[in-house]
Amino acid sequence: MSRRILLCDSQRPFRRDPGAARLDALAEQLRKRDFEVDRALLPAAHLSAPPHPARHHLFDTALAWRLLDLTAGAKQTIHLLLATRFPAYVARHPNKVVWLLPDEAPDPKARTGAAASPRPPESDADRLRRSMERRAFAEARRLFVSTPERGRRIKRETGLDAVLLPLPAGDLRTAPDEAWDEVVEQLTSTL
């Protein structure tokens, strides 16, 4: 019986999104290794440029993820939930694996319109996000990051250790299958 994997990611409607191509490549590699793969995407309203989005949209989408039941589709078990970018990893699943990939994280300076400056004071929104991430990452059976810098940030902000798992080098669309072996093995290790 093939194992079902649901890839969860943030959607950028009406925009070219390099993240979508990454997810396509990962999905293809999983299918080549006989996993059934589907995607769950929610639009990332928090990435809209100012002056539109109020900060609450940041958490509305996160709450929407949290509310979804992603354990099965048409009564068929989803064996693994693989989440990549904020706030998809807030989703719940008994076998959640998080692989933090490069993201256009919400920039407090952009939203407030303030000029660039040294690290601004932490806002309530920042604290809420950190708390949310601490919980979401702690729930994950495994936590991976694609860059050392991200791993350091996670450790600093949540106290959690993440395993470094870089993306294959070069163009993901043409990377040889062997370049993905380590990635797929790690991401599916909880199955």
Partner 1 sequence: MTDRPVTDRPLRVAVCASQVPFVRGGAEIHVEGLIRELGTRGYETALINVPSDWSTRRQILENCLAWRLLDLETAAGVPIDLVIATRFPSYVVRHRHKVVWVIHQLRQIYDMMGTPYSDFRPDDPKDRRVIAAVKAVDRRSLGEARARFTNAGNTARRMARYNGLDAVPLYHPPKHDGRYRCEGYGDFVLGVGRLDPAKRFDLLVRGLAAARTPLRAVLAGVGPERERLEALARRLGVADRLELAGWVDDDRLLDLYARCRAVYYAPYDEDYGYVTLEAFKSGKPVVTCDDSGGVLEFVEDGVNGCVASASRPRTLGRAFDLLWEDEDRARTFGRRGGERVAGISWDHVVEQLTATLRRERSGGSGGGGGCV
What mask, x for binding partner 1 by CB under 8 A, covers residues 8 to 47?
Answer: ---xxxxx--------------------x-x-xxxx-x-x
**Do 158 and 139 touch, CB atoms closer than 8 A?**
no
Q: Which is nearer to partner 1, 29 or 61 (CB)?
A: 61
State the minimum distance, in angstroms, from the CB of residue 69 to partner 1: 5
CB of 164 to partner 1, least distance (A): 30
CB contact at 8 A, 10 and 85: yes
Query: Which residue lies nearer to partner 1 by CB, 52 or 156?
Result: 52
Total residues in contact with partner 1, by rule CB under 8 A: 37
Q: Is 60 in the site for partner 1 (CB under 8 A)?
A: yes
Strand, helix or coil for residue 42: strand
80 burial (CB, 10 Å; 0-12 / 13-18 / 19+) is buried
Nearest partner of 38 among 15, 11, 70, 63, judged by Cα: 70
CA distance 184 to 182: 6
Interacting residues with partner 1 (CB under 8 A): 4, 6, 11-15, 36, 38, 40-43, 45, 47-50, 52-53, 57, 60-61, 63-65, 67-76, 78
